[in-house]
Structure 1
């Protein structure tokens, strides 16, 4: 199939499938979906997944009206009206073949924006977030929790690993898109895949060979983790209604689970085919990881949290007692800023769901019991635990001994203090060359100015080009003053079209009947509509000038302000116009400034075309400017607003 790669490992049908979403895809800037495109896309999904019962020829007018009324609701459930789309690229296979597709991003009921659908080779795959909001849209298959853990590492589901049948769902045919959940938590889909065989026709799975489902996406991969603000992925719900016939399905799954052979040490004996496959799938890594115990994973997370707090305190000694943090802290902020960067290894086993706590909420509650921090359940669209305070004087933090952290990426650029910092390899803005150009378009009343130069008055011109066009007109009309060549005599066109009396000085200029050449050019420019272009110059592709956009050239705005008393923070926005992705920049600033960063939608910006704002703890103007310079931003394109200085 086109969306993954296969490598033969022996003469049997076993294959290692290298999944593209194990790697972070490069997602282009998001753009709002037009209403017509959203309806068309949603209708195609409804048709492909056969989600609507076709009306009989004998259907009454009332039944047709009810069906028509249900369609917009179904469309919005599958693809909300706040949906955005973007192209993505990634690589897969041993040859790192380039693959591209489209992601559809949106949010349900005010939640965070997430990837809801991904389109690959004209085929739409729902993400787990879509499955968690739309029960029953796919056939649901089941397997053991230990197999699901392997699927979430990139393995495919082998036929002997199927639970809960026969019979299996009727729609689980070869080529059909299906969902997979564990028998232990059967109502919550965790994996999306495509049937390799007619699962619905299986009479028995015992002793069967081969792949049943190729996995495409799962809870825990890079698609699940992606978010425009940089927050980590959302943990699965504990239970969902609508996916199961609770009585029948639960009894069947429980009965099949009891038939498993429990082996010494609490493991489960797999069919040989399943065991071979999951072992072979692990060959995607150069070395097979040694399995960690739950206690070891617990210890790794606990130590990482202490390391994160120790580092926060030591990096911001003058910002006590909060040491540069703005409370309350969300679960995702704690995970991405205080835990993940300090985990002792890059092992894929180090996931919060593999700890004894299972969720961030329970992990933070356990630290609350240790009195390291104080938490509170905050109610909104869903209950989330936030951190209200941290005891940085706790002995575990004070006496913490830092350990050596794994090398996550090769250092590629210099930071604000001259040290090397890590740079996201998918951040294409680093090292880019930009060309910003101001353009002007004359209004109709100025059209006669262009006749002597034989130029199109409806075209776009630079200021220098308009200066020359104006000079040609002056010379052609013989308007240069005989007594002072720096002055231009006014004729009826200049008097009426340029000096139209809107400015206070116009009356004096009109009374004098002359004006300096420089003042005339400036007034001609002011009477034109302003446009701009920003071009990304590439050495490998022609310099194609983009379509001019209305308005003056944008600028990146850096704002220094005081928050929570005497704490200074540095904010910046206006990055998108310069092809800069906010999250990789925030990641680099976090390392360069040794302080916390965040990315959020700027207050007042449209949800359909959000302007993202990066915030860095502390007065970090110089560090921010250096990072922007690396991304091709000229100092003239930056505005600095120092609110701290004004208050002093």
Structure 2
């Protein structure tokens, strides 16, 4: 519901009586058990009420504020109004966050309340990839329910429930209401329809709200109060005890035939059902560009992946092959960039450190230090270095590697107009390129070309076009007998090549024009085309492209005061993949690099721009030369000095 930012009116303090009454309603609505100290004298009313007072404070702290809000929900954007309750839990030091949201008569806890109050609502489980879909606004479908049946008894239709992932089962990440009676389900295989309608999740606008405009707090890695391993063990034992292990009822042999499989399906009560599909676990929502939370998660996961990669591949080396202290550029090149899920150009454009909530690698490392995964310190006041990594950290140990993107990505069309073969980092290095400039005569030159039986719509090199002009002059006997460098002007030349300029008027008056000047007019009266021939490709098979040959752009700019960055774009026509080029420059220049869509380029056919920290023009030129790009095909613009270099 809160994918879009709600309109929240000014906060006002919550009266003590209203706070207690609201907390009591929550306790009653959710059927919470008030803790009682058995050692307390029942006659001591103050001591007996201590448990209730503590529960009230935990649910709704004494510093709580409230405000009305309005938002829209559903495909018809129906207006919804309610009340939010803001506060911070005592002793945590956290800034005030939205703890509850009331819509109609229903109070919904936010994830911040769930992280401090275990077991106040039933907890359901689903795979982590489904949780990610829920955090995009999807609803949980019945096939997505895991760790059951049996499911929690309180998860009845209309009940408020929390949702956690199987991979992090002790941390609720979403809140919603049961669309069906989940508690009565005896199976989910083959079932269809909504199970939980999502109301709020970690990452939405309720989570992100704060009076100081800071982004929401990150989810903890583990919460002891929500850990139900003991209950799961008991449930598993009871299910196991109920099985009849004396025969093969319900089991399917690996070599089972159709009849045996049908009998097994009957024994399991799933006769004729299709196997469950992961796509049925959630309701798909429109997939747009990556949200900031998705970008944050990608960088965090890439960092954890980088650590695990070194642990798995350098087991016999001290610190798993990592030499401390690790600079920011080393962290990006060794532990982050190679492990980002840059599967498509659009994702590559999104997955940039500047698009995270941290905005810089320095703040990202400080965040990881706060998570106690690493230990870092400031160096020289300008950067942060990693002094140590906790390789035994729970998040590192529990990390599950994902599929990495392939380095081979198509970057340029082939010469004949068909899709080019995928280019790898190595395929561009050492390639030989030939740039062919061509000209197509414009319509006004058709009489001259037709006179010498040349194709008026053909493509010619400048030398070939000049030779056609010479053939025409000789065929028409236009060479001046007094000066062979001069050409007599006839009506065709006058109509096709001469205009109203002073030089042309002088030529018309004298009746002659220099041959070189006439050749320049033929070239000027033609449209440019070009072909870029790679390696041993036949130029005759190429399909020339309109326009002048493109130039690779190298731009030096100043950012953040006196910091210089170097950008390079336009490498795709030269069969160069931007990402492998960035990877090489990161190592060569010992600095961070990024690949982003060039501002102004089409999202459907993006031109990618590689950015390198520092004044790295020479390093980029060398990298381009290794890939067959001639220095004359590159244009360098130095904005740090306000002048242009050829």
- TM-score band by shorter chain is 0.3 to 0.5
Larger Rg: 2
TM-score normalised per structure 2: 0.44
Greater relative contact order, per chain length (Cα 8 Å cut-off, separation 6+): 1
TM-score normalised per structure 1: 0.44
